[in-house]
Structure 1
């Protein structure tokens, strides 16, 4: 069976046991690592058994894949940041680097830009910035710092290191989302291919992998560091602590409510196709 995840510490920590044949009863996994923008695209064009994607990409994928209730990335205080070299009053007409055009981060940015308090318009009138460029995640902060972009949308461990690049946070989209909805931020989802993977069994494998990771974090440390784009141990530890949480083990009512709220608001704004059933 194939497993496609990002090289980010939350994914490698969560899936270490499953990827290394340490989950009893689970099949051997052929693992592929790719940035989330790549996995969002691959899931459309390739038969992937288990895959990590953005929640924002679900409207284009649920005909072929089923959402699993575990293994993904949701939480509080962990949302995407919009960064610039100096404070900005608006991003209208600016060059903005984003990690993918179907990422949750970009969808949140578009919702924020279209909100009444930021754009003077209703969410249904939300629009993308005038000039958007999809950039590999690792290139966004250096690109903004060098002036190639006016602003950059970043995720994950970037929130711990962006001051090193001389950048400032224009908006924490997670804080905005939580203050607007009261719900956690739905970032990354785990999907199972319909007709090829038993979703109940897959969920149990993933939960077992998470439990093993929590029980002895030292077992996965070398594996996590080998794939981390930010190699410092303290940054990796902060990343895992923030993004691998109770929602990783089970979405629960709050997690599902957050996903429904994101996709409903985005569909109402005309940004994604409507989703009738998760």
Structure 2
């Protein structure tokens, strides 16, 4: 079975057991490790993988071919994307400062960018200027070096941005939670509708549960793919993004996804689609 997910600690932690053949009866996986922008594009390719981790924001483009699984993904509270600027130069907490500016984002179909667009529509008069897509690990250096006015960052950047001399302009997750009282839907696990979705969800959930039961088993694998990340940062990353929603979306999880994509469709940021296709 072909699967694609990011090399980030939360994904490698979740799928370690399945990748390493530790789940009785689960098929062998052929893994592609790729940045979220790439997996979002793989999902709309002619011959995409059987299972993928994509942005929730990319779901409306793929729901005819893929189904959202109720487990394995990333939702939560206090874990949303951040908008950063350079300390001492463009540092400000006034959203209007982004008017006409160049902003780097990790993917045009990322949940981070969708949240940013929903937030900016309310808070940035006249809108931002140029949007530049770049791999997320390149964004903070680009802001630090003045190549970009602001950067939209995700994942472990929450813990490391001060070391780049950057300042927080806004926490989009905090804004979303205060506005909706719902968790933040970040990354989804999807599988082709032609496959046995119940079985795939079962193997995914079993992999999550194995990871929790044996947290040290995946340590070497996680750090190998974590781009020389500090082990403590990797652990903090896992603790933040692998939570109860990873085992089961539940009513709050589905409500969060429906709210995000429903608002986005109303704004014309994503294609209109049948919200019932999410479950």
TM tier, smaller: over 0.9
- Aligned match of 2:209 in 202, 208, 211? 211
Q: Which residue of 1 aligns with 2:146?
A: 147
Alpha-carbon distance change, 95 to 209 in structure 1, aligned in 2, over 3 angstroms: same
1:119 and 1:139 map into 2 onto residues whose CA distance is 24
Q: Residue 87 of structure 1: CA displacement?
A: 1.5
Q: Which residue of 2 aligns with 1:233?
A: 231
Aligned length: 269
**After TM superposition, what 4+ stretches of structure 1 lie above 2 angstroms from structure 2?**
none
Structure 1 unaligned residues grouped into runs of 5+? 121-126
Contact kept, 8 Å, 1:78 with 1:174, in 2: the verdict is yes
Q: Residue 48 of structure 1: CA displacement?
A: 1.1
SS of residue paired to 1:257: helix
- Aligned match of 1:105 in 92, 108, 112? 112
Contact kept, 8 Å, 2:83 with 2:169, in 1: the verdict is yes
Q: Which residue of 1 aligns with 2:4?
A: 4
Q: Which residue of 1 aligns with 2:163?
A: 164
What's the TM-score once normalised by structure 1's chain length? 0.95
1:156 and 1:42 map into 2 onto residues whose CA distance is 21
Q: Deviations over 1:83-108 (max 9, x none)?
A: 00111522111010100000000000
Q: Deviations over 1:180-202 (max 9, x none)?
A: 0000000000000121x211000
Q: Which residue of 2 aligns with 1:87?
A: 92
Q: Residues 1-278 of structure 1: matches in 2 within 5 Å?
A: 1-45=1-45, 46-85=47-86, 86-89=91-94, 90=96, 91-115=98-122, 118-119=123-124, 129-195=128-194, 197-229=195-227, 231-276=229-274, 277=276, 278=278
Contact kept, 8 Å, 1:230 with 1:236, in 2: the verdict is no
Alpha-carbon distance change, 24 to 52 in structure 1, aligned in 2, over 3 angstroms: same
Structure 2 unaligned residues grouped into runs of 5+? none
SS of residue paired to 1:218: coil
Alpha-carbon distance change, 203 to 237 in structure 1, aligned in 2, over 3 angstroms: same
Q: Which residue of 2 aligns with 1:124?
A: none
RMSD over aligned Cα atoms: 1.1
